[in-house]
Amino acid sequence: MQNNPRLARLILDQAQRDERDDDWSGREIEIADLLDQAVTTGQSRIDLRNRLVTGTRATNSMIYRDLAEAISESLTDQIRDLDSDIAKLENDLIPSRLVMGTIIGLMLGAFGAVVYGSADVLTAASITIAMVTAFFGVQAYRKRAFAIISTLKGRRTNYDAFRNLLRSEP
């Protein structure tokens, strides 16, 4: 929120720039970072939108709708990419659950094989240790995957909200 004046200034400067100037690579990173922070709270989103509205009115060389279209189309691209990342991660989580079940089955199987006499204790113990390690590893990465998914979903929601706000006429 406190960076909104600077972000609005950067966006408006970029919008008034000519397409053939291509010395904006440093600003691109700054705008992306600031925009990502600016859309996290509702108050900040409204504040940024109002700054862009007053900014475009002050420049006298472009209309707000063009600016809103340019930003919201870029947000749409970003939302589409986030959706595909979320879908990929969710797809990865499905086999990981099966792996957890199979690991438990293997531990039981190793124990049963010793009892039944078809495996010696040392082999069964080493397989069990490897599977306990694998079990906690899979669980840790599942937790991380869920954390990433919730972060990505939060970002997706923020971008979507800002896109809707930009499109609604002030």
Q: Which stretches of the chain bind other proteins, using CB under 8 A?
A: 11, 14-15, 17-19, 21, 24, 27-28, 31-33, 35-36, 56-57, 60-67, 70-71, 73-75, 77-78, 85, 88-89, 92, 95-96, 99, 102-103, 106, 109-110, 113, 118-120, 122-124, 127, 130-131, 134, 137-138, 141, 144-145, 148, 151-152, 155
Nearest CA-CA partner of 68 in 79, 60, 76: 76
Nearer to other proteins, 11 or 48 (CB): 11
DSSP class of 2: T
User: Which regions of the chain does DSSP assign to beta strands (E)?
Assistant: none
Nearest CA-CA partner of 60 in 27, 12, 4: 12
Q: Work out how close the CB of 47 gets to other proteins at its nearest, in angstroms, rounded to a whole number.
A: 19
Nearer to other proteins, 42 or 95 (CB): 95
Dihedral over Cα of 43, 3, 31, 71: its sign: positive
> What are the tokens at 149?
């998914």
